[in-house]
Amino acid sequence: MKASYKKYILDFKIPSGTSRGVLRQKETWILILEENGRYGIGECGLLKGLSFDDVDGYEEKLKWACKNIDLGKDALWGALSDFPSIQFGMEQAFLSLQSENPFVLFASDFVEKGSPIPINGLIWMGNEGFMHEQIEQKLAGGFRCIKMKIGAIDFGKEISLLASIRKKYSKEQIELRVDANGAFEPSGALEKLQRLAQFDLHSIEQPIRQGNPEAMRHLCGATPIPIALDEELIGVTNVTEKQNLLQTIKPQYIILKPSFIGGYRGSEEWIDLAENQEIGWWITSALESNIGLNAIAQWTYTLRSQMPQGLGTGSLYTNNFESPLEVENGKLFYKENKKWETDLIEKLCI
């Protein structure tokens, strides 16, 4: 078996704002396995400034993993515990290699019969006019669940945006989620949650920065809005530590990004622990290309969750790989009449 990788820079169509800054490009790494004329493909989806494995020596570790590919999937997963995005890329690539079609990692009605996955529409931070424009586009596109990034512009303006949505649409018509990306100060977070509660929000993601479990525990116990942990899960790799974190904070939900938390295996550990504690969960992408998004979507469908998932990021880039993934009426489809980019694997091997 041979293994190689290629760095690929994804370019955003429109600069996308979060509380941590504006994204214009996204660096990712495509992993290729080759054995007896067959190919396997995976994506190591690194996100600068947020991924646990955004460290010096990342490429060297990826090179090491390729050099030691004969150790096999399980041994490599264990050896790469500090590099969750490489763990996930390896999981994808091995599944892809074993499949008759390298882009079908999980056989299901999602791939074979066009059954869709409900998803949320993502509203990026920006000025008030830009955010209003995005909201109208998502509603016109058939979305019934909208996730809005908050925490970067004036909080009063964000309140006005939410009020304008609720004036037109009830919670039965539109489910609203907000994502603060840790933007609130612990001392003022509860007050802001109380102001947000008037809009019948489904949940708020990561209201305060990760790494302050006692403050988050207090907030989850007092909040009028269900809280979903996101960044809080990053870097927690031991099962016992995962269990302790959930038992300490007692969140209402957790959000799982496989590229950030050790791929399928790491995510399924979190799911099992959460369900044992009656904590809800959903899956989101971490701005991967369509290669990684496809791998996440196919797996997500097999989990049979009825909640809208965070998988609508495939159209963000000008130079994404052509794929059968398509968003329509607030759902993600794998369209049989659409094909993967011609000779994609061969192009990446050059």
pLDDT tens-digit series, residues 286-322: 999 999 999 999 999 999 999 999 998 888 899 999 9
Residue among 106, 179, 177 nearest 149 (CA): 179
Structural domains for the chain = 2-103+343-349 (3.30.390.10), 109-334 (3.20.20.120)
Contact (CB, 8 A) for 168 and 146: no
List of residues 6+ apart from 306 with CB closer than 8 A: 118
Per DSSP, the residues of 107-146 read -SHHHHS---EEBPEEE-B--HHHHHHHHHHHHHTT-SEE
The four Cα atoms 314, 319, 324, 326 give a dihedral, to 10 degrees, of: 40
Nearest to 333 by CA among 119, 179, 138: 119
Question: How buried is residue 48: exposed, middle or buried, by Cβ count under 10 Å (0-12/13-18/19+)?
Answer: exposed
Residue 133, token pair as written in the block: 């424009």
The pLDDT of 235-246, averaged and rounded, is: 96
Q: Select from 169, 151, 168 the least CA-distant residue to 159.
A: 151
Cα 331 versus chain centre, distance: 16
Amino acid letter for position 154: D
Question: 154-200, pLDDT tens digit by residue?
Answer: 899 889 889 988 888 899 988 999 999 899 999 999 999 999 999 99
Please give the positions annotated as active site. 149, 257
Percent of the chain with pLDDT over 90: 77
Confidence category of residue 203, pLDDT binned at 50, 70, 90: very high
